[in-house]
Structure 1
Amino acid sequence: MAANRGQQNGIQLLLAAEQEAQRIVNAAREAKMARLRQAKEEAEKEIVAFRAQMEAGFQSKVAESSGDSGANVKRLERETEAKIEHLRTEATRISQDVVQMLLKHVTTVKN
């Protein structure tokens, strides 16, 4: 009988240990799921913040390129005037060489 009682106590201990192990596994599983939910929420917050930042940058670019057409026109006029002035300067600089080259070709007789 003592042996039977010892086996029964051993079985009870094994059942208790199995239940404790199952409780530990369930707690770990729940903690893992909670951490995954938290990570997902954090990622969604980061996505929202990044999207808002990109949208603000895009809106800024759109407003910059089309918002104030008067400023764009003035900027384009300044750029155009600068390019025209550059062309005039270059034309003045090389005009004497062009005249000399034309005179040389006009006055040279070829057989």
Structure 2
Amino acid sequence: MQTFKSQAAQGDFLITRVAALPKRAEPVYEKDGVAILAHSETGHHHVIDAKAATLYRLPEAIYEAFLVVEKAAVIEHRRTWDTHEALKVDPGIYRINRQREYVPEGYRLASD
């Protein structure tokens, strides 16, 4: 299991510790007991236990989210093959930046 102090990456996203949650951030409701940090078209999401953390987004944000971790938790990549190593997250506030890729029409979220 990977640990970090201020910044780490897991597949399609970068997680960075920040000082505060933006005032306009709105909670994103969990599904099946987890918050999905990075959605996969094939169902192999990057998730964290919703009992330990809450995911937030700004209304206009596509590539960024915020995670408030109340108690130590683990971000898991839900894929049985070629999976990313689990990432231990200590209590705190974090910004989640999604990887993006260029296409002729502009940018879009990177997909796995």
Which TM-score bucket, shorter chain as reference?
under 0.3
Give me the TM-score of the superposition, normalised by structure 1: 0.12
Larger radius of gyration: 1
Give me the TM-score of the superposition, normalised by structure 2: 0.12
Q: Which has the higher contact order (CA 8 A, sep 6+)?
A: 2
